[in-house]
Amino acid sequence: MKKAIKLIIILALVYTIFLFRDDIKEKVFTVNESAMSFPEELNKESCIGLNYHRVLEDNSLVRISRWLLNSDELVKYSVVTTEFEEQLKSLADAGAVFLSEDELLQAKKSGNFPAKCVWVSFDDIDYSVYKNAFPILKKANVPFTMFVIAGRVGDEDFNNLKMATWDQIREMEKSGLASVGSHTYKMHRFENETPIFLVPENRVAFKSDLKKSIEVIEKELEITVRSFAYPYGDTDEFTAQALRDQGLEAGYILAPQTIVPTDDNFYINRVLVNDATHRNVILPFIKSQ
């Protein structure tokens, strides 16, 4: 028995070293801590936007790695399948009304959100969204939005992640549950501790990157792209204006606030979901309405 435990720990360490080797220090997934600092009370005349990145298989390696490292990537920016399924179930049991992005934007425009309103989104779209999250979403019949790094679709190793393919994204979109927006073409990385698309010298390049991302997504999926999620959940007015100039309808940030009708459509809030934020903030908020 002791040998088995040692073997599991060794395997977990190997898995963790592979997952978090030096090139991950590029901070591809880091968000500002202010995006997770919730106020004492959330506005109840609103809708809550939930944001996920990875939904990992719930196995011994992942659980031991979480316990050993307590890393942000595994604890803050990822959930495991059992957590994800329970999160959707507990919200549904509390009476949550899950909206598609189209329904969200229409309700926001009308100034009238349904009570217990929830909108689900995913950023990056690695293989775990297709393999682990999508079956759970289908089973629960929950609509969701995917924000795709268009130039990284199908990459086998994008900063240690296997990305979903166009066929997999297409299958999710064709299910009738998923809508698709842009998360840049390839400008999803840091430069000197700053998201590259926010570096002033890269403004012209960002406009080209944005345009290309939209063109590629629309060609591959035969849809109209209407929205963009800012990498790392941050933006500035130039970037927001670039989205407006491109004809998009919405841009999404990460912020510990709900969505209210008066919010600027290019600064729409989303809450980064993990086990702690779900238990301590999101579920109590839905139950309180």
Q: How far is CA 135 from the centre of its chain?
A: 17
CA-wise closest residue to 28 among 208, 209, 250, 183: 183
What was the pLDDT predicted at 23? 36
pLDDT of residue 67: 63
Structural class in CATH, domain 2-21+42-287:
alpha beta
The CA distance from 10 to 13, in Å, is 5
**Digitized pLDDT (tens) for each residue of the chain, 289 residues in all:** 555 555 545 554 444 444 444 333 334 445 555 555 677 678 888 999 999 999 999 877 776 766 675 566 666 678 999 999 999 999 999 999 999 999 999 999 999 999 999 999 999 999 999 999 999 999 999 999 999 999 999 999 998 899 999 999 999 999 999 999 999 999 999 888 899 999 999 999 999 999 999 999 999 999 999 999 999 999 999 999 999 999 999 999 999 999 999 999 999 999 999 999 999 999 999 999 9
132 vs 138: CA distance, rounded Å: 11
Q: What is the DSSP string of 63-84?
A: HHHHHHH--HHHHTSEEEHHHH
Tokens matching residue 171: 């299958």
- 24 is written with which tokens? 């991950």
Q: What is the pLDDT of residue 1?
A: 56
Which residues have CB under 8 Å from 87's CB, separation 6+?
79, 273, 278, 282, 283
Q: Which of 83, 91, 80, 79 is nearest to 119 (CA)?
A: 91
Q: How many CB atoms lie within 10 A of CB 147?
A: 24
Burial class (CB within 10 angstroms; exposed 0-12, middle 13-18, buried 19+) of 103? middle
State the pLDDT at residue 60: 74
Residue among 113, 90, 103 at smallest CA distance from 144:
103
Say what the pLDDT of residue 193 is: 84
How many residues are there in the chain? Answer: 289
Q: Which residues lie closer than 8 Å to 248 by C-beta, 6 or more apart?
A: 214, 225, 226, 227, 228
3-state secondary structure of 52: strand
